[in-house]
Amino acid sequence: MRSTKRSMGDAARRARAAARHRLAPAARTDDVAEIARSLVALHATDPATVFLSVAARSRTATHEAVEKALYDDRTLLRMLAMRRTMFVVPVELVPALQASCATPLAARQRRTYSRMIERGGIPDAQAWFGDVLEAAHRALLARGEATGAQLSADEPRLRTQVETAPGKSYSRPTGVTTWVLVTLGCEGRIVRGRPNGSWISSQYVWHPVETWLPGGIPDMPAGDARAELATRWLRAFGPAPVSDLKWWTGWTAGEVNKTLARLDVAEVGLDGGGTGVMLADDADDADDAEAAGGGRDAEPWAALLPALDPTPMGWQERGWFLGDHAPMLFDRNGNIGPTVWWDGRVVGGWAQRPDGEIVTRLLEDVGADARAAVDAEAARITAFLDGIRVTPRFRTPLERELSS
């Protein structure tokens, strides 16, 4: 790793993110897959996040355009990856995510679910679970596509109910269907297709991976996969502390350090006395990093980002753009809610009322021009929703207050 005397202040980092995350109007595009590439991946724990993240960064893209990229063109794929979190990812990144995140996760899932099944009273649980996995996969191959309920009709063991904490008051019988499908998905053998219902639904039809990605997911050495993923994150989110990369990927400290040792990266001083890392070929911009965000004379911009948007969820240390607004905008588990942005900083939050109206609240005085720009963005997101009512899966104090 190179050391450098260069530094990048918070304002420059914000300008850089505005351009690279396609939040500044000049950087916006209607190419849905390109938006995902700009952010490495789109958070998809809440299905609506994918669509609203695209809406914030596009000019005229509709939810139909997002669905087309996902289910017709298949330039994007939904999968569990970093931190056991659901993402929508560009298909060319799937092999790297599979090898660096999903395959290790699959092994952990097998062990975890097998222990739970054994506690629930099924002997030789590891073998039993493995056999059910194979049977479910065969059933899906025979059908070509299926819901969990349809596969349960074909393989009766999928209807098995397991007490996850026998003898505890909080224990409830849990079906193994989801465990089986999640594990097969993590192993890269099946993929989630179009949901049953609207674009905000999370009940998916499953497909064998070969019918969705011809030839399946190519194998990739884990070290190479981690290097590719880290390179993409550094391009989109650097410079940032190494701890941010560790948090975002969910890798061990050893894996992060070995990965960075393979890359040509440079250290950059950050405001507050901290140190960040960035790709060395990006460091040449660090002396005047605002140029990467459109220059010092770029127009300020407003954006309404959804809950769990990949921009605020891309870093663990968020003070340089969040300020002291976290208590109103995060839930107790660290999930960010809908946020209002002005020129690279979080300045408020927003919500949708039961009648569909989008309401915003600024948590600081940013002036009349900012207020007008925020109102214009609210109107733009209202048009994108086109009557659909979205409630974030993780509720935050301000979102609850505004939506009531």
pLDDT at 222 over 80: yes
Count CA atoms closer than 13 A to 330's CA, side-chain side: 15
Dist. CA 93–CA 227, nearest whole Å: 12
Dist. CA 229–CA 40, nearest whole Å: 8
pLDDT at 120 over 90: no
Q: How confident is the model at residue 172 (pLDDT cuts 50, 70, 90)?
A: confident
Alpha-carbon radius of gyration of the chain? 22
Count CA atoms closer than 13 A to 233's CA, side-chain side: 30
pLDDT at 292 over 50: no
pLDDT reported for residue 290: 42
Model's pTM, two decimal places? 0.94
Dist. CA 336–CA 313, nearest whole Å: 8
* Identity of the amino acid at 195: P
pLDDT at 23 over 60: yes
CA distance readout (Å), 131 to 104, 127, 180, 223: 20, 6, 10, 30
Q: How confident is the model at residue 1 (pLDDT cuts 50, 70, 90)?
A: low
- Phi, psi of 88, deg, nearest 5: -105, 125
Which is nearest to 217 in space by CA: 250, 194, 186? Answer: 186
User: How high is the mean pLDDT of the chain?
Assistant: 93
pLDDT reported for residue 383: 95
User: Which of 231 and 120 is assigned the larger pLDDT?
Assistant: 231
pLDDT at 289 over 90: no
Q: How confident is the model at residue 295 (pLDDT cuts 50, 70, 90)?
A: very low
User: Which of 296 and 27 is assigned the larger pLDDT?
Assistant: 27
* H or E element, residue 133: helix 125-143
pLDDT at 291 over 50: no
Q: How many CB atoms lie within 10 A of CB 128?
A: 17
Query: What percent of the chain lies above the pLDDT cut of 90?
Result: 87
Residues 351 and 402 sit within 8 Å (Cβ to Cβ): yes
Q: What is the mean pLDDT of residues 79-84?
A: 96
Which is nearest to 237 in space by CA: 126, 144, 313, 327? Answer: 313
User: Which of 245 and 165 is assigned the larger pLDDT?
Assistant: 245
pLDDT in tens, 329-351: 999 999 999 999 999 999 999 99
Q: What is the mean pLDDT of residues 89-116?
A: 97
User: Which of 197 and 344 is assigned the larger pLDDT?
Assistant: 344
Q: How confident is the model at residue 2 (pLDDT cuts 50, 70, 90)?
A: low
pLDDT at 389 over 80: yes
Dist. CA 243–CA 83, nearest whole Å: 14
- Strand 161-163 relative to strand 86-90: parallel, antiparallel, unpaired? unpaired
* Segments in 155-220 forming alpha helices (H): 177-186, 209-212
pLDDT at 167 over 80: no
Q: What is the length of the chain?
A: 404
User: Which of 134 and 4 is assigned the larger pLDDT?
Assistant: 134
User: Which of 15 and 283 is assigned the larger pLDDT?
Assistant: 15
* Segments in 193-286 forming alpha helices (H): 209-212, 222-237, 242-249, 253-262
pLDDT at 297 over 80: no
Dist. CA 82–CA 96, nearest whole Å: 11
Q: CA-based angle 392:397:403, to the nearest 5?
A: 55
Q: What is the dihedral of CA 370, 286, 34, 262, to 10 degrees?
A: -140
Dist. CA 294–CA 278, nearest whole Å: 19
Which is nearest to 77 in space by CA: 278, 86, 26? Answer: 86
Count CA atoms closer than 13 A to 7's CA, side-chain side: 9
* H or E element, residue 225: helix 222-237
pLDDT in tens, 243-275: 999 999 999 999 999 999 999 999 999 998 899
User: Which of 172 and 221 is assigned the larger pLDDT?
Assistant: 221
Q: How confident is the model at residue 163 (pLDDT cuts 50, 70, 90)?
A: confident
| DSSP one-letter code for 199 | T
Q: How many CB atoms lie within 10 A of CB 368?
A: 8
Dist. CA 275–CA 154, nearest whole Å: 56
